[in-house]
Structure 1
Amino acid sequence: MITRTGRRPRLRVAGGCLAALLTVGACSSGSSGSGSASASGSASAAVTGTVTVFAAASLKESFTTLGQQFEQAHPGTKVVFNFAGSDALAASIVGGAPADVFAAASPATMKTVTDKGDAAGDPATFARNQLEIATVPGNPQQIATLQDLARPGLKVVLCAKEVPCGAAAQKALAAGNVQLTPVSYEQDVKGALTKVELQEADASLVYQTDVKSAAGKVDGVPFAEASSAINDYPIATLAHAPNSAGAAAFVALVESPQGRQVLADAGFLSP
């Protein structure tokens, strides 16, 4: 049983403290506002133990890399990830699941957490993402536009409407005046991508970062309507974080130039 304690003080790490963060694990900051937290203005708060991060499925590759960098910078620490659909993660957090950081694929799913007072402060947008059509390698169906997905006989997979990639897909389809009935709705973007990788579907609407991570297993087709459905990705430390200092340090890494480079390399757009 999880005991809900009082709200922890919100802690911040300023971007300019990155060097100190990576060497001693924390630094002081007199700034306030949205974004991350740091170790209560004292450089003596060492980063130790396990940091539990709940993150949208589309962040798996980039956050895994950042987790490895974090552990190298803070010997003896361990970053444990729970990657899944943002809506499922948000529901777990408000239900009392112990976690230190939440990174969502849309502000709407983050709002589920902030509305319940489970975030330690205002979330910060750290990246953006847009959709792309994933096809079987070689694109044998010669899909070139969003409208092509409505062709009779084409097997298309979408994310469930309640998850961020599904909500973005619905916006894009509406912008293109495209109506289609998918062969399945998947609970996160990796599920939609896997259907194409296994050639159980001809195409799916996923994030461009997922197409990039699956290079060689799928082909990507950009489409004009994707610009009308770009998702912001917010991140926040959690009010009942078991490791608040670790949470602050991990969020600071994500927001740092080093973190932004990892995200850019994965295909994410700047916030």
Structure 2
Amino acid sequence: MKKTLLGFGIVAALTLSACSSGSDPQSASGTPSEITVFAAASLTEVFEDIADEFQNSDPDAPEVKFSFGGSSDLVSQITEGAPADVIATADEKTMGTLEGDDLLAGAPSMFASNTLTLAVAEGNPKSIEGSTDFPGLDLVVCAPQVPCGAATQKWAELNEVELDPVSEENSVTDVLGKVSAGQADAGIVYVTDIARADGQVEQVDLDGADKVINKYPAATVRASEHQEQADSFVKFLGSDSAQKLLRDAGFAAA
């Protein structure tokens, strides 16, 4: 069974509790029974499915608990000492911050890629066909420091599109939420976000999106006390079963 943690505070609290007991949870074989994975918000559903496959693949595999959020926020938390065993981000640049600060146990592994698209309200009531319809729309995007925001800025520059968003969100999940709640006419998200929206939004192809591809890296955190198990999870992301789940969720190969 997986556990999803919604933020650094909960993760930290659990860690303090574990420390007060005198030891980390152990499985019958003596290996740690849990690892903590920090992962980009766009990976939420598929990583939970991958964790199931990971645990089913080996009786000694640890339970995986998650903290999902904007990649830049997760990186900041690890930089400040948040306890994590694995980090998976939505672009290489964000992961590069940890690599540059020597906070990773090894070189990151690319396991998937993603492409931008446009999310519009169900039924597309504004009859939006692409970026030429942006003027006059309530458009939401990710903030520039977030991978989807950096990709959006790059896409706009390459395609000479002027952006005038009504808000900039800290995660792609928040962009999707604004559109599905009717608080925005359209939002720039990943193609995988449309797939996991359960019909609450519709997709409109974003012209020139193929010029900007985000690659997803994962790595073991140097401060992890369970590096062998963390390495196993990172390696599992490249397995046939994990790659199939990623493709089913709309991700492309790295």
Conserved in 1, the CA contact under 8 Å of 2:72 and 2:145? yes
Q: Which residue pairs with 2:76 in the alignment? A: 91
Q: RMSD of the alignment, in Å?
A: 1.7
Conserved in 1, the CA contact under 8 Å of 2:53 and 2:242? no
SS in 2 for 1:215: coil
SS in 2 for 1:255: coil
Q: Which residue pairs with 2:233 in the alignment? A: 250
Q: Which residue pairs with 1:266 in the alignment? A: 249
Which of residues 29, 35, 48 in structure 2 aligns to 1:64? 48
Residue identity over aligned pairs, in percent, reads 41
Which of residues 220, 236, 240 in structure 1 aligns to 2:223? 240
1:103 has 2:88 as partner = yes
Q: Which residue pairs with 1:184 in the alignment? A: 167
SS in 2 for 1:180: coil
Q: Which runs of 5+ in 1 are unaligned?
A: 3-44
Q: Which residue pairs with 1:26 in the alignment? A: none
Q: Give the partner amino acid of 2:81.
A: G
Distance in 1 (CA, whole Å) between partners of 2:83 and 2:109 is 21
Instruction: Spell out, residue by residue over 1:30-53, the C-alpha distance to the aligned partner (whole angstroms, 9 max, x if none).
Output: xxxxxxxxxxxxxxx975411110
Normalization by structure 2: what TM-score? Answer: 0.85
SS in 2 for 1:134: strand
Q: CA deviation at 1:183?
A: 1.1
Normalization by structure 1: what TM-score? Answer: 0.80
1:129 has 2:129 as partner = no
Q: Which runs of 5+ in 2 are unaligned?
A: 1-11, 16-28
Which of residues 171, 191, 194 in structure 2 aligns to 1:208? 191
Conserved in 1, the CA contact under 8 Å of 2:109 and 2:234? no
1:50 has 2:61 as partner = no
Conserved in 2, the CA contact under 8 Å of 1:52 and 1:79? yes
SS in 1 for 2:177: helix
Conserved in 1, the CA contact under 8 Å of 2:84 and 2:221? yes
Instruction: Spell out, residue by residue over 1:99-129, the C-alpha distance to the aligned partner (whole angstroms, 9 max, x if none).
Output: 1111011111001101111111111111110
Distance in 2 (CA, whole Å) between partners of 1:238 and 1:180 is 36
Q: CA deviation at 1:68?
A: 1.8
